[in-house]
Amino acid sequence: MAGVYISYPFCAQKCTYCNFASGVFPAALEGEYFEALLAEIKSTEWPWTPETVYLGGGTPSQMDPGKLARLLEAIPGGKWREATVEAAPGGITAELAGAWARAGINRVSLGVQSFAQAELRGTGRKHTAGIVASEVEILRGSGISNISVDLISGLPRQTEESWNDSLDWVRRLDVPHVSIYMLEVDEDSRLGLEILDGGTKYGAGRVPREEDIAGFYEKAVDMLAEHGLARYEISNFARAGYESVHNLKYWRLEPYLGFGADAHSFCGGKRWQNAESPADYVVRMREAGAAVVERTVASMEEEYFFLGLRQMEGVEAGPERIAPYRKDVERLVEMGLVEYDERRLRLTRRGVLLSNDVFEVFIHTCPG
């Protein structure tokens, strides 16, 4: 079954740790972007009726709800099995949540990142733990109880105590889905750049040690399991039946179409990607009626392993399928990073922490 992803890269602020192609842009661009996005969706010849819709960003929760409804109306289906909007806590009112529910949204992913004020202050996020708690109640009151909360292990000023405090909040809020990301250090975020190049503005010197970040993540795995949320993918935890139907498509190589700046699509064994910056996207849509900047043929066998292995259930891999990788798989089994029983291949608990080492094997040894 297929999915739809809509990118809305506009945010109220640029968070220090954020390495997405999102940020603060002129209001006029936001209006033009909406028209381009609507035009892109409307001009699509749909190869299927989607099962899921996911509005990501950026901060699609800051979009005018009437406009959000117009985007959704242009997508076939209507009563999708799962329709998610990513939201930044701090602006969810009963009116907004009600409008989302009427437009077909039945899941909200809250980019909380932390419940600790000392951590939040340095990132640019404006919410407090109390605001998150009251907005979770507002969503539930509007009939949206499928709620996910994101946390980041590794933010500057994070301590064992503050991490435990954030986990306690998650437990008390009793949401059915949680995502835990370990801080990504790269040149695409201001904090990442500071960690790599030095500086004191964004708190690079206060980032926990790598082993502590992994320890925080492991602690979350145990706490969430005790609370009934099983890890079903490296970064994702859910009560049974609340796994993200949309995100599972990425790891199971099911088709999806992406709309908007930097959106990716995968269909018919091909991948393609739109222009990254919203301004570039708007210009391309206006001048050419399309914004695709890159097309590739998917390496299906390679992707089958390195995307599928992200799931805790692993991938089906009988002796024939594993044959080109047999030696490497045996080595990974010996290292304690994967389990293999001639039917399924899956990461071990240790393998999750060193998953890039495992994935590399499949990328480098892919036949052809």
Pick the binder of ligand SF4 from 37, 41, 63, 88 (CB under 6 A): 88
- Sign, Cα dihedral of 154, 168, 160, 222: negative
The distance of closest approach from Cβ of residue 17 to ligand SF4 in the complex, given in angstroms and rounded to an integer, is 7
Cβ proximity of 142 and 191 under 8 Å: no
Question: Is-cis flag, bond preceding 199, omega within 30?
Answer: no
- Sign, Cα dihedral of 206, 209, 210, 214: negative
If binding is defined by CB under 6 A, does position 57 make contact with ligand SF4?
A: yes
2-41 binders of ligand SF4 (CB under 6 A): 11, 14-15, 18, 20, 22
Crossing angle of helices 326-334 and 355-364, in 10° steps, is: 170
Chain centroid to CA 249: 12
- The window from 30-38, 53-61, 259-267, 352-360 that contacts ligand SF4 (CB under 6 A) reads 53-61
- 81 vs 126, which CB is nearer to ligand SF4? 126
311-330 binders of ligand SF4 (CB under 6 A): none
End-to-end CA distance of the chain: 28
- The window from 38-46, 54-62, 89-97, 299-307 that contacts ligand SF4 (CB under 6 A) reads 54-62
Which own/partner pairs from 221-225 qualify as long-range (CB within 8 Å, at least 24 positions apart)?
Answer: 221/180, 221/349, 223/167, 223/171, 224/170, 224/178, 224/180
The distance of closest approach from Cβ of residue 223 to ligand SF4 in the complex, given in angstroms and rounded to an integer, is 24
The distance of closest approach from Cβ of residue 110 to ligand SF4 in the complex, given in angstroms and rounded to an integer, is 11
Q: Give the type of residue at 233.
A: E
If binding is defined by CB under 6 A, does position 58 make contact with ligand SF4?
A: yes
- 207 vs 352, which CB is nearer to ligand SF4? 207
- 111 vs 156, which CB is nearer to ligand SF4? 111
Q: CA 345 to CA 316: how far, in whole Å?
A: 6
The distance of closest approach from Cβ of residue 111 to ligand SF4 in the complex, given in angstroms and rounded to an integer, is 5
Binding site for ligand SF4 (CB under 6 A): 11, 14-15, 18, 20, 22, 57-59, 88, 111
